[in-house]
A = this chain, B = another copy of it.
Amino acid sequence: MYSARLTSELKQLRDAALTSSYAYTELAHLCNNIGPRLSGSPQAQQAVQYVADEMRRLGLDVQLEKVTVPHWVRGAETGELVKFAGQAPGTTQKIVLTVLGGSVATSADGLSAEVIVVDSFDDLSSLGRGKVAGKIVLFNARFDKQMAAQGFGLDAYGQAVVYRGAGPSEAARLGAVASLVRSVGGADYRLPHTGAFGYAADAPKIPAAAVSAEDADLIAYLTAQGPVRMHLTLTPQTLPDVESYNVIADIKGSEHPEQVIIVSGHLDSWDLGTGAIDDGAGVAVAMQIAQLIKTLGLKPKRTIRVIAWMNEENGLRGGQAYAQDHKEDLANHIAAIESDLGAGHPVGFSAHISAKALEMLRPLASVLQTLGAGIVNRSEHAEGADVSPLDAAGVPTFAPIQDNRTYFNYHHTAADTLDKVVPRELAENAVVMAVLAYTIANLPEALPR
């Protein structure tokens, strides 16, 4: 049991968060007034300024910590099937696709080549260079929608995303001229899902895009009947790196100001949507922790540090820079909490912590259970990409456990927009983050590792 005072403060935080529209209002501004916030873009810079100004307005100590980020811009992206069985004379079939982040371009006129479809890397290998060279390869592994609908979206994502991540270089090694991946996500609304990937050092760099699930089906259907030729025009550009920032805003601890509890989300987003669920929601909820503590006049014993991370999506340079820049001080990082799986109803939180630490946090369940968020889960891995470099350095990491059954329908698409967030559910996420952070900040003993 916690002290009566702490318990009372936690309930104040909970009740205030549930009736506040602060996080939703902030999220709306990030999505609607600023818009997509890809690293290096003017919108990402505007968002940095906006969050910093707002945290200062609330009275926090704000630092902008430099992060050098990639600056990749999308350009044109079109695809069409120009030769296939049964085609009406003079016609093509449009293919809905989107370039993967970091891809090189085709020429401005595009390229034309036969498309071949594989379901796996083994499939690709068995074809060999003779059948792959000069072709466009489509990796057609399906995202397991049923698995996602059962709440295991991250597992479904993990299974399929390997083709987005490694496909381009695997195809290039066998001489492919471009690489397509069936969108890694659950939408069936002709919606392509973008995302990052890496070129292997030992493979040619070829253009890479994601086609919608429907278009992958169409290509598979037509290639089963005979040769299919595609014209593909992708004109992204990789511009010089840009100086950007993690926004760091502190409410200094009254007893142990040197001990830090991070609450965070990432401020950058992909460029197709407006980054509501990924991850404006995480930033807005972290901002709300500050707003709640200030509004309620609470005094955490340890420092609560709101961080809006930069460049989670295509580089993770914000998370890496922070861990590097603060490496001498990580022993004082008591906990790092990140929300980066949307804003669905939370059922509790997950933590990469010791068994002893877990026991110290169990009483939280009784405060959170009133909103159905009483699960306290100990996990075996870092919670949150941006905090993973801290986790690797021994800092306990935490994340809310959200209902993510529809998260991967919208993830990395043009449809990641404000309407996908339910205000009440966003507020519930603020409750979990606030109660968790404030507890860790006020335990009599620092949370052990």
Binding site for B on A (CB under 8 A): 28-29, 32-35, 41-43, 45-47, 50, 84-91, 93, 96, 187-191, 213-214, 217-218, 221-222, 225, 273-274, 409-410, 413-415, 417-420
A419, B213: Cβ atoms under 8 Å? yes
B33, A87: Cβ atoms under 8 Å? yes
Q: Which B residue sits closest to A271, measured CB to CB? A: B94
The docked-state distance in angstroms from the alpha carbon of A419 to that of B85 is 19
B45, A190: Cβ atoms under 8 Å? no
A231 CB → nearest B CB, Å? 15
The docked-state distance in angstroms from the alpha carbon of A413 to that of B96 is 13
A419, B32: Cβ atoms under 8 Å? no
Interfacial chain B residues near A187, Cβ < 8 Å: 189
Interfacial chain B residues near A43, Cβ < 8 Å: 88, 91
A74 CB → nearest B CB, Å? 11
Q: Which B residue sits closest to A273, measured CB to CB? A: B190
A85, B190: Cβ atoms under 8 Å? no
Contact of A46 among B35, B88, B214 (CB under 8 A): B88
Could you give 6 example pairs across A and B, Cβ below 8 Å?
A43-B88, A45-B88, A46-B88, A188-B415, A188-B419, A214-B418
The docked-state distance in angstroms from the alpha carbon of A86 to that of B43 is 10
Q: Which B residue sits closest to A28, measured CB to CB? A: B221
A194 CB → nearest B CB, Å? 13
A34, B88: Cβ atoms under 8 Å? yes
Count copies of this chain in the complex. Answer: 2
The docked-state distance in angstroms from the alpha carbon of A189 to that of B274 is 13
The docked-state distance in angstroms from the alpha carbon of A414 to that of B191 is 9
A399 CB → nearest B CB, Å? 26
Q: Which B residue sits closest to A45, measured CB to CB? A: B88
A417, B214: Cβ atoms under 8 Å? yes
B42, A88: Cβ atoms under 8 Å? yes
Interfacial chain B residues near A273, Cβ < 8 Å: 190
Contact of A191 among B91, B191, B225 (CB under 8 A): B191
The docked-state distance in angstroms from the alpha carbon of A170 to that of B49 is 43
Interfacial chain B residues near A214, Cβ < 8 Å: 415, 417-419
A415, B28: Cβ atoms under 8 Å? no
Interfacial chain B residues near A274, Cβ < 8 Å: 93, 218
Q: Which B residue sits closest to A187, measured CB to CB? A: B189
Interfacial chain B residues near A410, Cβ < 8 Å: 189
B190, A191: Cβ atoms under 8 Å? yes
Task: Please indicate which of the listed interface residues A46, A84, A420 has the most CB atoms of chain B within 10 Å of its own CB.
Answer: A46
* Given known contacts A33-B85, A35-B88, A88-B46, A191 and B188 CB-to-CB distance under 8 angstroms: no
A408 CB → nearest B CB, Å? 13
Interfacial chain B residues near A221, Cβ < 8 Å: 28, 32, 418
Interfacial chain B residues near A222, Cβ < 8 Å: 32-33
A33, B189: Cβ atoms under 8 Å? no
B86, A34: Cβ atoms under 8 Å? yes
A354 CB → nearest B CB, Å? 42
Interfacial chain B residues near A28, Cβ < 8 Å: 221
The docked-state distance in angstroms from the alpha carbon of A415 to that of B215 is 10
The docked-state distance in angstroms from the alpha carbon of A188 to that of B189 is 9
A143 CB → nearest B CB, Å? 13
The docked-state distance in angstroms from the alpha carbon of A442 to that of B164 is 58
Interfacial chain B residues near A47, Cβ < 8 Å: 88
A33, B86: Cβ atoms under 8 Å? yes
The docked-state distance in angstroms from the alpha carbon of A89 to that of B45 is 10
A36 CB → nearest B CB, Å? 8
